[in-house]
């Protein structure tokens, strides 16, 4: 009988010890599960965010390629406008001398001045656009 009581107490102690380990294991699993839930939620948030960014980049790159193609093909447009304006100026100067008339301030002179300004501004815009594209780094 004493031996049975001792064996019962040993069995109960063993069962308690076994349950403690099992309970501790469950707590570790629950903590891991909670941590994984938070990580999965954050990962899903970032994945959605990067998907939007990726789509925006693809859309903007397609638009940029179209614009850049036109600007690149016409990269010297402003210079050509200025060269043509210079030819018109030479013709106006020649005509002014031949006729003995001062065309300064006349309508053709004002238009020519506008063409010179537009040529300079346009070339500046083209050069600025091409420079901006060169600054894109990954």
What pLDDT, on a 0 to 100 scale, did the predictor assign at position 80?
97
What pLDDT, on a 0 to 100 scale, did the predictor assign at position 6?
67
Compute the distance between CA of residue 68 and CA of residue 73 in angstroms, rounded to an integer. Answer: 8
Compute the distance between CA of residue 121 and CA of residue 96 in angstroms, rounded to an integer. Answer: 28
* SS3 per-residue string spanning the chain: CHHHHHHHHHHHHHHHHHHHHHHHHHHHHHHHHHHHHHHHHHHHHHHHHHHHHHHHHHHHHHHHHHHHHHHHHCCCHHHHHHHHHHHHHHHHHHHHHHHCCCCCCCHHHHHHHHHHHHHHHHHHHHHHHHHHHHCCCC
Structure tokens at 20: 């403690």
Question: For every one of its 138 residues, what pLDDT tens digit does the chain have, with 9 covering 90 and above?
Answer: 666 666 676 667 666 655 555 555 666 678 888 899 999 999 999 999 999 999 999 999 999 999 999 999 999 999 999 999 999 999 999 999 998 999 899 999 999 999 999 999 999 999 999 999 999 988
What pLDDT, on a 0 to 100 scale, did the predictor assign at position 24?
55
What pLDDT, on a 0 to 100 scale, did the predictor assign at position 138?
83
Compute the distance between CA of residue 29 and CA of residue 56 in angstroms, rounded to an integer. Answer: 40
């Amino acid at each position: 009988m004493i031996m049975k009581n001792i064996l019962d107490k040993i069995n109960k102690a063993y069962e308690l010890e076994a349950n403690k380990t099992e309970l501790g294991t469950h707590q570790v699993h629950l903590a891991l599960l909670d941590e994984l839930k938070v990580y999965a939620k954050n990962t899903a948030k970032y994945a959605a965010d990067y998907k939007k960014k990726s789509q925006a980049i693809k859309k903007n790159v397609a638009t940029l390629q179209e614009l850049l193609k036109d600007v690149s093909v016409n990269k010297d447009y402003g210079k050509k406008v200025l060269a043509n304006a210079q030819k018109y100026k030479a013709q106006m100067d020649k005509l002014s001398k031949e006729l003995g008339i001062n065309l300064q301030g006349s309508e053709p002179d004002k238009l020519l001045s506008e063409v010179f300004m537009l040529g300079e501004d346009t070339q500046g815009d083209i050069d600025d656009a091409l420079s901006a594209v060169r600054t894109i780094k990954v």
